[in-house]
Each structure stands twice: as C-alpha cells, then as structure tokens.
Amino acid sequence: MSVNLKELKRRRTFGIISHPDAGKTTLTEKLLLFGGAIQVAGAVKSNKIKRSATSDFMEIERQRGISVATSVMAFDYRNLKINILDTPGHQDFQEDTYRTLTAVDSVIVVIDVAKGVEAQTEKLVNVCRMRNTPIMVFINKLDREGLDGFDLLDELEQKLGLTVRPLSWPIGMGQRFKGVYNLYEQKIILFRPHGKQDEEDVVEITDLSDGRLDELVGTAAADELREEVHMVESVYPKFDREAYLRGELSPVFFGSAINNFGVRELLDCFVEVAPPPLSRPAEEREVKPEEGSFSGFVFKIHANMDPKHRDRIAFMRICSGTFERNTNYLHVRQNRKMKFPNPTSFMAEKKMVVDEAFPGDVIGLYDSGNFKIGDTLTEGEELHFKGIPSFSPEQFRYVNNADPMKYKQLDKGLEQLMDEGVAQLFVKEDNGRKIIGTVGALQFDVIQYRLEHEYGARCTYEGLNLHKACWVTAKDEKALKEFIQRRKRDLARDKHGQLVYLAESAWSLKMAQENHPEIEFHFKSDF
C-alpha cells in the first residue's frame, strides 16, 4: 500500500501514431538512439511488419511474434523514464492500436509533408480526441518537396479538428531545405543531411532581423522566413501548456526523421511539457496515479508463437500504487487472487523480470488464459476501468465448424481468440449462427490458422455482405422489444450479450435510424 511519488513523476508514457510510411518507425528509432536504448539504427525497423507482407499472414504472425519485444520501448532521458508504446501501423491491426491508445498519456502524430493528413491518421486522431489525449505533431520528410507549411496546418485543423501552434518552422524544403527555426527557444538549427546535428549547427538568433540570418541561409530564404514567422506569430495562439494538457492545443514541429533532424527539438519539448501519468476513469470512480493502492488494466494480449505452449502475454498498464512481484492481487472479473512470479518489463530490445512497477509503466504478465482485454487487477477493490471499447467491425463472415468431432475445441479457440481481441464474435438472434467481424481481412486467415494449429479445430467461412455492426439500446424497453420483434433477422448478440444491429448497407442503416428514432445506434461498445 504505497506509491513512490518520485518514480511516478518521472514517467512519460506515450504512443506514436501515423498513416503507414509517414515515418513512425524511423522516428521511434531516433528517439531510442537519443535515449541510448539502442546503439544502432535498424533495430526497430527489422521488427516492422512490412506492407509487402499483406498477402502472407504467416510472415505477419511471425513478425508479430518478434514485435512483442518492441511492444513497449523504455529509455531514460534527462532523468525521465520514457515509455513508448508501439502501435502497429498495419491497418488490419488497427484495433490493437486503438486499444494501446487507452494505455498512453499522450501521443505524437507523424505526418508526411508530401501527403499531408491521410486516412489512418484521421481515424487514430479521432480516437485520441474522444479522450482528450494531448497531441503533438511532427511533420516529417522536409528533405523532400511537400505541401506548404500553412496549408498543412490548415489541413490539421480541418481534417483532424486540432487547434495547432507551430513551435518550429521550416526554412525552405526539399532541395532548398536549410533548416528549422525553433520558435520555442528562438534558435536556428541548420540542416546537414544525415548530420548528427551537433552544437555548431545550432545558431541562436533571437531577433530575426539579425543580419547573420542572411549570411547563414541567403537573403531570399531569410526574408521568406521573416515573413512566415511574422504570420505564424500573428495567426496562431501562443503555446499554452495547460491547453495542450487538456487536449485543446497541439504543438507542431517540422523535421526529417531519417536525417535525425528536428527530432531533438521534438524530444526536448516533449520532456518539458508532456504529461506524467494521468488519472483513469473506472466505472466506480476516477483512479488517481498517486493513490497508495495498486491498480492496473490489461489493454493487449499477445499469443505465444509456439503452438506447443498456449501461454500468452497480457500487457498491463499500471494506473495507481506500486505493483510488486509475487504479491497477491485481486483479478476483479474472476473474483480471485493471483500472483505473478515473472512480471516482465521491456527496455527496447531487452526483456527482464521486474520486482516493482509504477504508474505509467507497462508490464507483461504470463497468462494461460485467465485474462481478457479490459481486465483489472487491484489490491482488493472492485474496479472496472472504462474506455477500452470494441469498435464496430467492417468485414464479416459466417463461421462454420468443419470437423463435427471438434466443436468443443472450436468454441474454446474462438472464445480465447476473441478475448485476445483478434476479432469479434456475434451470434444471430434468429438462428444462432456465428458471425466473425473484423477490422481487416487478414484476421480471417489468422483465426483459421491459429484454430487449427493451437486448438486442433477447423473452420470454414461463408461470405456475408454487411456494411456495419452497431450496438443498439433504447431508454424505452417496450420500443426495444418491438424493434427486436420486427428486426430479428438483422440482430445478433456480442460476447457480453449486448444487442447488435447488422446493417446490410449504409442506406439500410440510415433507414433503420430514421424509422426507429427511439433506438440509439452506437459505433463503439462503451456507450
């Protein structure tokens, strides 16, 4: 029953999100290099799930196996302990990313200067904004030609709904890229491709009318910078940390991750302003990190790649108190005590057993099937952390048993894979048939393969043309009953018995909403 305030205040736990290829992996790697957590570039990269592997799910599963090591990357920087939670870039694993975002205290969004805001950036930022997660933006690849800085800022505001404040500003781009002006500290940082960005590249110029600026970057670029900085200062609000912490203002940085340029500015600002571990809402009450009593929740489950060992690793975010090895904790859903002899922490490439962990930390717990996503451990209090929703899936298939002797294995396998969050299972209200809903098509292959190799069960799929599944509720019980009567054919239950409406098309969903105004349609499960 204690909390170590010193350790708690040292934690900064965040995620990096982006559309694939914007430079998330490269940026992560540069941050780890700064923190001394890795020695050579490429260490993270080699674990990345390559886009080219979309058709080869075995390769993806293999790489996912490796990626356990990079699920959490921790390093020390300026006496802070930074935890970067890895978010899979592959879009078929987007749900993993959504859930990981429940375990971070802030995020950095990476944008490709040439592509601007892309589809996946939008989806992921939306999830962050639902929780008011503080967001920083890094605009990457300034060594290439891209969109105009102001146009990009407009796009961030319009497409992502962010209020932005540039804290650095590029001097040219592509071939003409000279460096960035650090608006936060009023310094010019000059660009040298693949340079180490050492001291001599940084020139302090507090007054932009200083003639040295013209000497350094040329008069044309200097004048352009003066004009643009003037515009930035007159158009955008001043940086206000409190507004950033409330998720209402996003600082923006420009740079080139591969050239290690602008990354230190981002990191230095991050360690100064990013939030330490924040409170987390539970159904019962708000849980503060500085409370003495330990609590934590599981946000991700990773299966062992070795089919002979069906054990898994459950990733737990510590929310309050101190977690101790070999201590009895209450598994709230199962209402029983459990203790953990080998809780694991992750330091970049290294895994090690830890004796203690503090709020903001993520530990891996070896599990033989006791955990589901969202499960809570405490010292005895009945807490259920909120905000770990399922999202309405986009691809659907009926699942059939292909081996009548193995229906038990099939049921068990399906149940466990659903607990891991691989996909969602729905049971039709009219005929009891099972439907699997996923975010990406790849999961169907993963499920089939894993059922066979881990559970000895075989399944076949049957195509099903559905647009969306959404959860339905109504304040008026009679109206809900009537709706169920009339729409039985389009209804199913999720694993918690919640009622789900299966819409065949966007049009039929719209019609159902119009014809049943008393019914509420929800697109994620925590309403």
Residues flagged as binding site: 18-25, 86-90, 140-143
Binding window for ligand G4P (CB under 6 A); candidates: 21-29, 154-162, 304-312, 504-512? 21-29
Based on the shown chain and the rule CB under 6 A, indicate whether residue 25 belongs to the binding site for ligand G4P: yes
Based on the shown chain and the rule CB under 6 A, indicate whether residue 116 belongs to the binding site for ligand G4P: no
What is the nearest approach in angstroms of ligand G4P to the Cβ of residue 166? Answer: 18
Strands of the 80-85 sheet, one edge to the other = 72-77, 80-85, 11-18, 106-112, 135-140, 250-254, 164-166
Based on the shown chain and the rule CB under 6 A, indicate whether residue 168 belongs to the binding site for ligand G4P: no
Structure tokens, 115: 């592509």
What is the nearest approach in angstroms of ligand G4P to the Cβ of residue 68? Answer: 18
Choice between 135 and 500, CB closer to ligand G4P:
135
| Spatial distance between the Cα atoms of 127 and 102, rounded to a whole number of angstroms | 9
| Spatial distance between the Cα atoms of 527 and 524, rounded to a whole number of angstroms | 7
Choice between 89 and 440, CB closer to ligand G4P:
89
Is 84:111 a contact under the CB 8 Å cutoff? no
Binding window for ligand G4P (CB under 6 A); candidates: 22-30, 280-288, 427-435, 444-452? 22-30
| Spatial distance between the Cα atoms of 166 and 30, rounded to a whole number of angstroms | 21
Choice between 261 and 315, CB closer to ligand G4P:
261
Distances (CA, A) of 514 to 31, 510, 521, 522: 50, 6, 11, 15
What is the nearest approach in angstroms of ligand G4P to the Cβ of residue 273? Answer: 23
What is the nearest approach in angstroms of ligand G4P to the Cβ of residue 195? Answer: 13
The 121-160 site mask, x for binding ligand G4P (CB under 6 A), equals -------------------xx-xx----------------
Is 242:101 a contact under the CB 8 Å cutoff? no
C-alpha angle with apex 107: 471 to 344, nearest 5 degrees?
A: 90
What is the nearest approach in angstroms of ligand G4P to the Cβ of residue 349? Answer: 17
Q: Which of 4, 7, 9, 21 binds ligand G4P (CB under 6 A)?
A: 21
Is 121:18 a contact under the CB 8 Å cutoff? yes
Is 376:383 a contact under the CB 8 Å cutoff? yes
Q: Which residues contact 490 (CB under 8 A, 6 or more apart)?
A: 501, 502, 503, 504, 512
| 3-state SS class at 187 | strand
Binding window for ligand G4P (CB under 6 A); candidates: 15-23, 180-188, 438-446, 513-521? 15-23
What is the nearest approach in angstroms of ligand G4P to the Cβ of residue 107? Answer: 14
Is 375:365 a contact under the CB 8 Å cutoff? no
| Spatial distance between the Cα atoms of 321 and 13, rounded to a whole number of angstroms | 16
Q: Which helix (H) or strand (E) holds 222?
A: helix 219-235
**Residue in this structure with the two tokens 């600002």, named with its chain if needed:** 269
What is the nearest approach in angstroms of ligand G4P to the Cβ of residue 47? Answer: 11
Choice between 45 and 285, CB closer to ligand G4P:
45
Q: Which of residues 255-314 bind ligand G4P (CB under 6 A)?
A: 256-259
The residue count for binding ligand G4P (CB under 6 A) is: 19
| Spatial distance between the Cα atoms of 504 and 353, rounded to a whole number of angstroms | 49
Q: How many CB atoms lie within 10 A of CB 289?
A: 23
Choice between 140 and 344, CB closer to ligand G4P:
140
What is the nearest approach in angstroms of ligand G4P to the Cβ of residue 461? Answer: 30
Q: Which of residues 61-100 bind ligand G4P (CB under 6 A)?
A: 89
Choice between 267 and 373, CB closer to ligand G4P:
267
Choice between 193 and 292, CB closer to ligand G4P:
193
Structure tokens, 513: 């909403």
Binding residues for GTP: 18-25, 86-90, 140-143
Q: Which residues contact 148 (CB under 8 A, 6 or more apart)?
A: none
What is the nearest approach in angstroms of ligand G4P to the Cβ of residue 51? Answer: 8
Choice between 25 and 320, CB closer to ligand G4P:
25
Q: Calculate helix-pair angle for 149-160, 119-130, nearest 10 degrees.
A: 60
Based on the shown chain and the rule CB under 6 A, indicate whether residue 23 belongs to the binding site for ligand G4P: yes
Choice between 253 and 455, CB closer to ligand G4P:
253
Based on the shown chain and the rule CB under 6 A, indicate whether residue 115 belongs to the binding site for ligand G4P: no
Maximal C-alpha separation, the chain: 84
On the 0-12 / 13-18 / 19+ scale of CB atoms within 10 A, 336 is exposed
What is the nearest approach in angstroms of ligand G4P to the Cβ of residue 15? Answer: 13
Q: Which residues pair with 356 in a beta bridge?
A: 324
| Spatial distance between the Cα atoms of 413 and 439, rounded to a whole number of angstroms | 19
Is 379:293 a contact under the CB 8 Å cutoff? yes
Choice between 122 and 462, CB closer to ligand G4P:
122
* DSSP tag of 46: G
Q: Which of 13, 26, 67, 250 binds ligand G4P (CB under 6 A)?
A: 26
Distances (CA, A) of 441 to 55, 86, 94, 96: 10, 22, 12, 15
The 28-47 site mask, x for binding ligand G4P (CB under 6 A), equals -----------------x--
What is the nearest approach in angstroms of ligand G4P to the Cβ of residue 30? Answer: 9
Residues that bind ligand G4P (CB under 6 A): 18, 20-26, 45, 48, 89, 140-141, 143-144, 256-259
